[in-house]
Amino acid sequence: MEKLHWMKQSVSDYKMFCTATCNLRRKAFTLIEVMVAVMIISVVIMALLQINANNTHIFSQVKNQETATQYLSLLVGTKYGFENEKISLEELVSDFDLDDDFRRELKHTDIEIVYQTLQSIDTAMFDESANEEEDNDPNKKNSSGTVYETGRSTLKTKRYSSSLLRLRIR
């Protein structure tokens, strides 16, 4: 009888051990679940790194374009920009009152200014009296007409370029 009791006791102990072990297994993650979680986290981290790299590249391009636009604004109000020229930015701003540090920075920046005429309108061709005089005397040149010329000034450096539309009245 004692043997039977001992057997019952060991069977009940075994059942309790199995129940406790099964409960422990249900509370923990399996190796596959952990590997899937690590893969998902690594994909998210890689996507974030790619977004960061793209933003850095775009920011760099915007900064270069901003600098080119600032340099291009120096053409407004100067004698430069209506001819094709290669000069330094220091020459371009020689008439401006600028900080010495800024002048040193501009001294080492070489630029090329490319001017392209887009359209030219001579108002003399719209003046009927001037056209009649021209028909009577072909050797006489009419200087009373005003010429409106639209063009594009492009400022080019080693890293970037920027354009500006201009109107010249002669």
84 vs 148: which has the higher pLDDT = 148
- Number of other CB atoms surrounding residue 122 within 10 Å: 14
pLDDT attached to residue 11: 64
Ranges of each domain in the chain: 2-169
- Number of other CB atoms surrounding residue 168 within 10 Å: 14
Instruction: Let me know: does 164 contact 150? Beta carbons within 8 Å.
Output: no
pLDDT in tens, 135-150: 555 555 555 678 898 9
**Residue percentage of the chain with pLDDT more than 90:** 20
pTM: 0.55
Residues in contact with 152: Cβ distance below 8 Å, sequence separation at least 6, in sequence order: 115, 116, 118, 163, 164, 165, 166
Least confident range from 28-32, 99-103, 165-169: namely: 99-103
